[in-house]
Amino acid sequence: MNTRNLREVAQHRACATHSVCSSDQYTSAAPTTTSDRECKSAGSCSNGVLIAADSRTQANHCGSCNTNYLLTSKSCADCGSGKGLVNGQCSSCAVGTFSQVPACYACSTGYYQASTGQTSCVVCPVGRYGASTGLSICTECAKGTYNQYTGKTAASYCSACASGTYSSSGSIGGSCTTCESGKTSDAGASECTNEGADGLVL
């Protein structure tokens, strides 16, 4: 066997004995006829799962992401403040929701959010209540009632106005309005009526 053939046999044997990277590594340099492949740690995929070993091209190479994370440039990223993942795209959180990275969540009862892309919800003001989650506006107490507290979650927190007072729009100020001089009302009234000289309602 001549020298050339011996060299070719030696190269063939070198290729045949190239090592294989382990499951927690990736090939950082391909093997050649004169050197073995180089393997380095595959690292980890933050907020996701590493891609299959035979597809890795770098350390920390993500193949799939956890819920609410987006695969971008081989890594998993959240959408950022005020946004969430909707149908595979980052979008502003809708009304009635707020952002708590990495996702958008519905406002709790007693709270609302009227704007998109927000990071918190707003407590229902006096005169209103929020009976369900994900509200874009709180429900106003019925006419003739009032609610002097914030963050209430049911209509049962709206109390009837006392006689001599009224509420025409759910007691936005948290209390009922006293009837002006010469007028009166029964409990739970939405308006006052004229009172005669002898105290009778006209």
Residues in the chain: 202
For residue 166, is pLDDT > 80? Answer: yes
Rg (CA), the chain: 35
Range in 17-21, 36-40, 84-88, 188-192 the model is least confident about: 17-21
Quick one: average pLDDT of 118-133? 96
**CA–CA separation, 78 and 112 (whole Å):** 24
Per-residue confidence (pLDDT) for residue 170, from 0 to 100:
65
Quick one: average pLDDT of 180-198? 86
SS3 call for 39: strand
**CA–CA separation, 92 and 26 (whole Å):** 37
**CA–CA separation, 191 and 21 (whole Å):** 83
How is residue 81 written in tokens?
Answer: 């403040």
Q: What is the mean pLDDT of the chain?
A: 88
Quick one: average pLDDT of 95-107? 96
Distance of CA 47 to the CA centre of its chain: 16
For residue 45, is pLDDT > 50? Answer: yes
Percentage with pLDDT > 90 across the chain: 77
Percentage with pLDDT > 70 across the chain: 86
**pTM (whole model) above 0.75:** no
Query: What is the per-residue pLDDT across 49-93, written as a single tens digit (0 to 9) for each?
Result: 999 999 999 999 999 999 999 999 899 999 999 999 988 899 999
